[in-house]
């Protein structure tokens, strides 16, 4: 948790802990005593694992605790209920890096959504292993870093990429059809802060050519999946998925075309929900709050 960088209109509390009576009442009472006006609250129970999840957002206009005081005053309550918890602020504007290869449809969509104000973030740079998207980045006034990757320079390329991430204080990395596998060391630097889009309804058809595999299998539905990146390829916690119906008349090119629309939508939703602090990870799953 970091102190908000800009004046915040609302604060957001995210909690997961063992499920028991009194959690909501205790948190609600704490916020009430300090002048919070709760704007939105959502909760979830995993009955099988006995876990409780909560997101609460409140107006800060009459709230009487600053960031440091809030951390200090809430800690005893968190210990009592064995909470993992964090505080986020709507006034924050995190730095986001977008990685892309040759396919630009997801990148175009993300940059458009950012331009019209759908994403509360800064995008200081785009990183690619190909030069193809440079003109698009320049159109949007975003620095473009071409970092070629091949079998012999992968470690060096990742060092360059990580230096760029640190230089720009990047808080979220979005893989917008970046067709390279990140090393475990790279992924470990950004736990639950790298979002990928996979052109398949995972866990079906993993790997680089899922539309071809789907066509060969004769499926009637194709899908796309946004997920957090982990060391295991295409196996991180799933954030969002969507599907489109196809038929025997569709060829591979048709599947690819329909799939692009799905990829844009599921990636954009995942990025927006992450920036709005609506996602909690547990195990290899996510809770995505309304």
The residue behind tokens 């600053």 is: 66
**What are the angstrom distances between the C-alpha of 194 and each of 33, 112, 129, 183, 267?**
37, 20, 17, 12, 12
Q: Which of 112, 125, 120, 219 shows the shortest CA–CA distance to 174?
A: 125
Q: Among the options 234, 242, 250, 254, which is catalytic?
A: 234
Query: What b/e readout covers 149-163, taking b as 16+ CB neighbours within 10 angstroms?
Result: beeeeeeebbebbee
Torsion of CA 165, 141, 225, 237, to 10 degrees: 30
**What are the angstrom distances between the C-alpha of 47 and each of 44, 71, 279?**
9, 29, 19
The residue behind tokens 């409140």 is: 58
With beta carbons less than 8 A apart as the criterion, state whether 53 and 83 touch.
Answer: no
The residue behind tokens 């196809």 is: 246
To the query of whether residue 234 is one of the catalytic residues in this protein, the response is yes
Per-residue tokens: 92 = 């924050």
Q: Which of 227, 238, 265, 272 shows the shortest CA–CA distance to 96?
A: 272
The helix (H) or strand (E) run that includes residue 7 is: none
What DSSP character marks residue 137? Answer: H
What DSSP character marks residue 281? Answer: E
Q: Phi/psi of residue 204, each to 5°? A: -75, 145
- The SS3 of residue 285 is strand
Q: Which residues are catalytic?
A: 234
């Amino acid at each position: 948790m970091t102190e908000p960088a800009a004046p915040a209109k609302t604060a957001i509390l995210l909690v997961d802990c063992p499920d028991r009576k009194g959690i909501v009442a205790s948190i609600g009472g704490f916020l009430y005593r300090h002048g919070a006006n709760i704007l939105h609250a959502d909760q979830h129970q995993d009955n099988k694992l006995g876990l409780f999840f909560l997101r609460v957002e409140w107006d800060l206009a009459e709230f009487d605790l600053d960031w440091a005081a809030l951390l200090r005053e809430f800690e005893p309550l968190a210990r009592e209920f064995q909470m993992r918890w964090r505080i986020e602020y709507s006034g924050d504007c995190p730095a986001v890096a977008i990685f892309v290869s040759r396919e630009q449809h997801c990148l175009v969509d993300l940059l458009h959504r950012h331009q019209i104000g759908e994403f509360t973030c800064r995008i200081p740079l785009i990183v690619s292993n190909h030069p193809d998207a440079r003109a698009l980045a320049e159109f949007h006034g975003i620095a473009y870093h071409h970092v070629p990757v091949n079998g012999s320079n992968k470690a060096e390329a990742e060092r360059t990429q990580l230096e760029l991430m640190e230089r720009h204080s990047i808080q979220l990395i979005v893989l917008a059809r970046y067709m390279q596998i990140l090393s475990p060391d790279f992924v470990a630097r950004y736990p639950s802060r790298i979002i990928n889009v996979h052109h398949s309804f995972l866990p079906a058809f993993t790997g680089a050519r899922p539309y071809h595999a789907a066509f060969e299998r004769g499926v009637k539905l194709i899908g796309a999946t946004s997920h957090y990146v982990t060391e295991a390829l295409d196996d991180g916690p799933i954030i969002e998925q969507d599907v489109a119906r196809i038929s025997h008349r569709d060829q591979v090119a048709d599947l690819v075309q329909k799939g692009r629309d799905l990829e844009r939508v599921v990636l954009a939703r995942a990025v927006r929900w992450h920036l709005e602090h609506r996602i909690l990870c547990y195990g290899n799953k996510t809770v995505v709050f309304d």
